[in-house]
């Protein structure tokens, strides 16, 4: 599968990165812009107050100076602000109307600052409660005007206005700088982020490539983790472990199919050979009988292999949780021992049940019977005549344990970990006399596994072997 660029993880991560970073930069920008704007306005308002106060002071200090002169003088003192100053005289007794507006500056009377209601409010306010108003009226030119209403004796109001032109120009400049800087920062950060993300995801690509290159025929490939200690390193290690396990199981499967073919071919070759020899010439009836008996034995052996293989493949698919029926383990034990008594007697072996505590577990009777039968059958087969096989079922330390103990030939230490592998037999030369296929214990292990049982084997050469299967009592 080829991943489309916009669906790739690096693309998505970069996109998220840009969105989040863009959001943060925008928020920070808005905050900064707003606080800069507020501080400019605060500064301007302070200047307006200073000019209004100065106008009043000039008029008050130089008694005899007209308001017009005071306004002119003050205007001249703040040339860089080009303040527009006027005095609004209010008529108190006639319900506070505007009586006269003195504005010796260049503005036409009534062209600005002529909101009577605002004057009233200002009139009521004290010095701490001054009113600052921003006028956006078109007559004032392209830029708004910031004004202060400053009540003075009279009742009069000194009104001062300063154009917001330079403030707005400053703000616009700041906005452009912020957009350019923010955009540039975002671009650089995105490129850097994308580079880092790609670098971080590079091993994933190599995982993908290796996974593509791996086939059942060649599972020897591994991914270089480069000593990474991060999540990607963990992913690579996990992937490599998985390939190793896969390699092992494929090897096992190959070995198994090789073993199966071999096991099946041997008896077939014998049958064919014997029949071919028999058919070369006329034979006596006894010879025919002998060969037929031998081929019958071989085909019975073949049938056993096939049955065991079929049984194994059936239980291979079983899961532990699949059992919901309860079975009596003690009854199973008694039943199996009973069915094996004849075989033990034939070989002059004592087969005894020492203890069989009533035990109930969840499971399938046929499977458990087969498991116990295989172990007891082995114990009888690998014990010399006059030997002893003892079976018991006991409860101890929170688990129920089946024990099959024999006084047989024992299992060499190095074989203990292998006896549960399919077709594993300790001594191939013993094969014919004991008739072992090497499948019995694989079945035992599988049945125990899917019933939650744990197998333990203790053995001493020429002294005997004990097989213990522990089942948790909670079942």
Beta bridge mates, 391:
353, 404
Nearest-angstrom CA–CA distance, 449 and 395: 19
Alpha helices (H) in 214-284, listed in sequence order: 231-279
Q: Choose, by CB under 6 A, the member of 48, 158, 402, 411 that binds ligand ADP.
A: 411
The 436-465 site mask, x for binding ligand ADP (CB under 6 A), equals xxxxxxx----------------------x
Closer of 162 and 411 to ligand ADP (Cβ): 411
Residue with tokens 């499948």: 439
Nearest-angstrom CA–CA distance, 208 and 186: 31
The 317-356 site mask, x for binding ligand ADP (CB under 6 A), equals ----------------------------------------
Q: Minimum distance between the CB of residue 347 and ligand ADP, rounded to whole angstroms?
A: 13
The 373-402 site mask, x for binding ligand ADP (CB under 6 A), equals -x---xx--x--------------------
Query: Of the listed pieces 66-74, 249-257, 258-266, 420-428, which binds ligand ADP according to CB under 6 A?
Result: 420-428
The 19-58 site mask, x for binding ligand ADP (CB under 6 A), equals ----------------------------------------
Q: Choose, by CB under 6 A, the member of 36, 114, 143, 424 that binds ligand ADP.
A: 424
Closer of 267 and 436 to ligand ADP (Cβ): 436
Alpha helices (H) in 280-358, listed in sequence order: 285-316, 329-346
Closer of 195 and 431 to ligand ADP (Cβ): 431
Number of H helices and E strands in the chain, helices first, is 10, 12
C-alpha distances out from residue 341 to 346, 349, 373, Å: 9, 9, 11
CB 243 within 8 A of CB 222: yes
Alpha helices (H) in 353-473, listed in sequence order: 365-381, 431-434, 440-450
Q: Minimum distance between the CB of residue 289 and ligand ADP, rounded to whole angstroms?
A: 29
Q: What are phi and psi of 313, to 5 degrees?
A: -70, -30
Closer of 202 and 384 to ligand ADP (Cβ): 384
Q: Minimum distance between the CB of residue 199 and ligand ADP, rounded to whole angstroms?
A: 53
Vertex 333 angle, CA 327 and 338, to 5°: 130
Query: Of the listed pieces 48-56, 136-144, 211-219, 408-416, which binds ligand ADP according to CB under 6 A?
Result: 408-416
Q: 174 is written with which tokens? A: 């700041």
Which one, of 388, 390, 378, 393, lies nearest residue 437 by Cα?
378
425 binds ligand ADP (CB under 6 A): yes
Residues near ligand ADP (CB under 6 A) are: 374, 378-379, 382, 406, 408-411, 419, 424-426, 436-442, 465
């Amino acid at each position: 599968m080829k991943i489309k660029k916009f669906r790739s993880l690096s693309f998505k991560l970069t996109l998220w990165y840009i969105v989040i970073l863009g959001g943060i930069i925008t928020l920070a920008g808005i905050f900064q812009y707003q606080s800069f704007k507020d501080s400019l306005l605060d500064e301007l308002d302070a200047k307006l107050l200073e000019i209004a106060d100065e106008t009043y002071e000039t008029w008050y200090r130089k008694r005899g100076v007209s308001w017009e002169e005071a306004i002119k003088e003050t205007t001249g003192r703040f040339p860089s602000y080009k303040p527009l100053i006027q005095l609004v005289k209010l008529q108190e007794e006639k319900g506070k109307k505007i009586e006269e507006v003195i504005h010796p500056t260049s503005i036409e009377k009534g062209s600005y600052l002529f909101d009577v209601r605002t004057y009233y409010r200002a009139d009521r306010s004290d010095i701490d409660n001054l009113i600052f108003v921003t006028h956006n009226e078109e007559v004032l030119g392209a830029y708004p005007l910031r004004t202060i209403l400053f009540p003075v004796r009279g009742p009069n109001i000194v009104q001062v206005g300063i154009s917001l032109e330079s403030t707005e120009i400053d703000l616009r400049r700041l906005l452009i700088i912020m957009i350019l800087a923010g955009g540039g920062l975002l671009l650089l950060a995105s490129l850097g982020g994308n580079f880092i993300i790609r670098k971080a995801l590079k091993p994933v690509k190599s995982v993908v490539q290796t996974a593509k290159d791996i086939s059942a025929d060649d599972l020897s490939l591994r991914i270089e983790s480069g000593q990474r200690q991060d999540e990607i390193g963990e992913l690579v290690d996990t992937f490599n472990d998985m390939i190793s396990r896969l390699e092992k199981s494929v090897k096992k499967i190959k070995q198994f199919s090789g073993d199966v073919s071999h096991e099946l071919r041997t008896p077939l070759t014998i049958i064919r050979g014997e029949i071919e020899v028999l058919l070369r010439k006329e034979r006596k009836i006894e010879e025919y009988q002998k060969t037929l008996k031998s081929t019958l034995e071989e085909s019975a052996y073949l049938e056993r292999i096939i049955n065991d293989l079929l049984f194994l493949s059936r239980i291979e698919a079983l899961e532990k949780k699949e059992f919901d029926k309860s079975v009596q383990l003690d009854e199973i034990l008694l039943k199996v021992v009973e069915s094996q008594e004849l075989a033990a007697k034939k070989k002059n072996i004592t087969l005894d049940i020492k203890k069989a505590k009533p035990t109930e577990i969840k499971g399938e009777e046929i499977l458990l019977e087969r498991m116990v039968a295989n172990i007891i059958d082995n114990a009888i087969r690998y014990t010399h005549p006059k030997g002893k096989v003892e079976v018991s079922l006991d409860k101890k330390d929170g688990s129920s344990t089946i024990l099959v103990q024999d006084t047989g030939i024992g299992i060499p230490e190095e074989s203990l970990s292998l006896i549960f592998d399919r077709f594993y037999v300790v001594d191939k030369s013993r094969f014919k006399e004991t008739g072992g296929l090497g499948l019995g214990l694989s079945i035992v292990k599988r049945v125990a596994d899917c019933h939650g049982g744990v197998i333990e084997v203790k053995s001493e050469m020429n002294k005997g072997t004990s097989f213990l299967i522990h089942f948790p009592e909670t079942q």
